[in-house]
């Protein structure tokens, strides 16, 4: 099969070479038509947009690019377990799984993301977006999986109570981030949301005032003065970018001028 494709590539190159040769001699009125046909054949043979781009830029020599070798299959294949099947979803785009996957893929996707959230390996915001999408699915099993996964993550939120029970500074930072993640994802609402926001602001005093501290504090109370203070004390490029974005949104040109002067000191 590979040798047949190589022959097609060679024929395609020969046609491209002839196309250019006739055009140089003023005997070819179909240069662009044949050029695009060469590229179409190149794509059908190689299935690689990058090779087509190179072929177009180096036409007609680029049509001779070798076909990429595929990895040989393993001679011995074990039957994949349920866990292995679930983990394979990690190699796919989350959006691809949600929009184009079948019911099994969607169930495995929400299961994987919920497990990653529990292990602090994925953002809760991503999980909530995926769950809300799947809760509108026409398949009842998919909706059930999404609902149960949300309830499972909800139960795991009990762990953040450690944040308020005298943990070490490092542990406090970890739980601080977890609570903020839940707040940002709109997982908490109403009185519960207000309670945790106030608790975070109260707890702030025991943390080292570094870049992460000011970023977290700003995301909780949305006060630009927090970013100004953080920039003055840490000279953090991240805080600078966050502040610049907010000032641009507000069209605060005086603030932008002040920001540039402060950061250039």
Q: Which residues contact 30 (CB under 8 A, 6 or more apart)?
A: 19
Identify the CA nearest to 31 among candidates 42, 15, 20: 20
Give the pLDDT confidence score for residue 87 in this predicted structure.
Answer: 43
Per-residue pLDDT of the chain (265 residues; tens, 9 = 90+): 455 667 777 887 788 888 888 888 888 778 888 888 888 887 888 777 877 888 788 887 777 766 555 444 433 344 444 444 444 444 445 666 666 667 777 777 777 777 776 666 666 566 666 666 666 666 667 677 667 666 666 555 555 555 555 555 455 566 666 666 666 666 566 666 677 766 666 666 666 677 877 887 787 778 899 899 988 888 888 888 888 888 888 888 888 888 877 766 6
Phi-psi region of 36 (alpha: psi -120 to 50; beta: other; left: phi over 0): alpha
d(CA 35, CA 3): 24
The torsion angle over the Cα atoms of residues 105, 108, 113 and 118, rounded to 10 degrees, is: 180
Q: Where are the alpha helices (DSSP H) in 48-136?
A: 49-57, 82-88, 94-100, 103-118, 124-134
Give the pLDDT confidence score for residue 204 in this predicted structure.
Answer: 62
Give the pLDDT confidence score for residue 108 in this predicted structure.
Answer: 76
Give the pLDDT confidence score for residue 122 in this predicted structure.
Answer: 62
pLDDT tens by residue, 146-181:
676 666 665 555 555 555 555 554 555 666 666 666
pTM for this entry = 0.37
Do residues 126 and 94 make contact, with C-beta atoms less than 8 angstroms apart?
Answer: yes
């Amino acid at each position: 099969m590979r040798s047949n494709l190589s022959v097609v590539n060679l024929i395609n190159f020969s046609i491209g070479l002839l196309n250019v040769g006739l055009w140089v001699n003023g005997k070819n009125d179909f240069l662009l038509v044949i050029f695009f046909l060469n590229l179409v054949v190149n794509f059908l043979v190689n299935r690689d947009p990058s090779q087509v781009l190179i072929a177009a830029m180096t036409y007609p020599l680029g049509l001779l690019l070798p076909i990429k070798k595929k990895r040989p299959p393993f001679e011995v294949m074990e039957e994949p377990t349920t866990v292995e099947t679930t983990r394979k979803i990690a190699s796919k785009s989350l959006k691809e799984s949600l929009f184009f996957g079948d019911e099994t893929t969607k169930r495995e996707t929400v299961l994987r993301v919920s497990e990653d959230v529990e292990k602090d390996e994925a953002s809760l915001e991503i999980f909530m977006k995926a769950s809300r999408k799947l809760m509108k699915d026409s398949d009842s099993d998919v909706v059930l999986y999404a609902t149960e996964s949300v309830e499972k993550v909800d139960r795991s939120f009990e762990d953040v109570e450690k944040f308020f029970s005298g943990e070490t500074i490092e542990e406090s930072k970890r739980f601080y981030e977890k609570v903020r993640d839940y707040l940002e994802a709109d997982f908490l609402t109403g009185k519960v949301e207000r309670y945790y926001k106030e608790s975070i602001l109260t707890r702030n005093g025991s943390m080292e005032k570094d870049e992460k501290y000011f970023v977290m504090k700003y995301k909780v109370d949305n006060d630009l003065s927090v970013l100004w203070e953080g920039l003055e004390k840490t000279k953090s490029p991240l805080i600078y970018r966050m502040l610049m974005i907010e000032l641009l949104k507000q069209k605060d040109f005086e603030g932008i001028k002040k920001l540039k002067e402060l950061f250039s000191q």
